[in-house]
Amino acid sequence: MAETAALCGEVAFSRHTYLVIDFEGLTPAGRPAVPVEVAVLALTVAADGLAESWRYESLIAPPPGMAVTSYDMRLTGITAAMLATAARPERVMGELDRRLTAPPYRLVAHHAPTEAGIIAHQRRHCPELAGIPLLDTVRLARALYPELSSHRLDDLVRYLRIEPPARRHRAMPDVLATACLFQRLVADGGRTGRWRALGDLDRVGGLAPRRPASRVGVQAGLF
């Protein structure tokens, strides 16, 4: 997007690759979220703004005996039959981790604490990914559009007139929507002077990598 060019000219911002990431997961009561799908879209600075450099997506097999509930199926459309042949998390997360050969990176997610928690619990399979700082598009949107009563992804897509993706609540469609939102946030914040450098984004929407915790839940209402 050409309107992101001002911030893209800043040295620190332009050095980074922005990994827009989303997980879909099961939410067993009293246990951390269990990822069953991941998608990543890598954005790098180009002449006219941010451009895709690669993408990755995969279903992830849940632990044996972990049920896919009717709520999970209604939300994502992912069924037990689809997960029956999915790769184990060590293979999926390891494969994703091996793509990270050109640092520095920033992870970008809508309500990044959710993704940070899931990654923390998978860190033995993806140590490179688990060490990357995050940018939270919810926090950035709250700072930039304080007049809104809700900063859910669907509400922001409607407010900013971003074309909504098909198959919402699947990982890659949600990543594509978040990537469009992130570019719009960068552009609008740069145009109004809200941020002039990557450090400004970090101060407003930054999140350090998370260490594993005993209870990390998914806040589905923010999706």
Its domain, for residue 63, covers 2-214
pLDDT tens digits for 51-103? 999 999 999 999 988 888 888 888 888 999 999 999 999 999 999 999 999 99
Q: Which residues of the chain have pLDDT under 70?
A: 1-6, 212-223
In-domain check, residue 43: yes
In-domain check, residue 220: no
In-domain check, residue 222: no
Contact 126, 192 (CB under 8 A): no
118 membership: H or E segment, kind and range: helix 112-121
What residue type is assigned to position 12 of the chain? A
In-domain check, residue 94: yes
In-domain check, residue 219: no
- What letter would DSSP give residue 45? E
Other C-beta atoms closer than 10 Å to the C-beta of 62 total: 21
pLDDT of residue 4: 60
CATH of residue 134: 3.30.420.10
Q: How many structural domains comprise the chain? A: 1
pLDDT of residue 7: 83
pLDDT tens digits for 53-66? 999 999 999 998 88
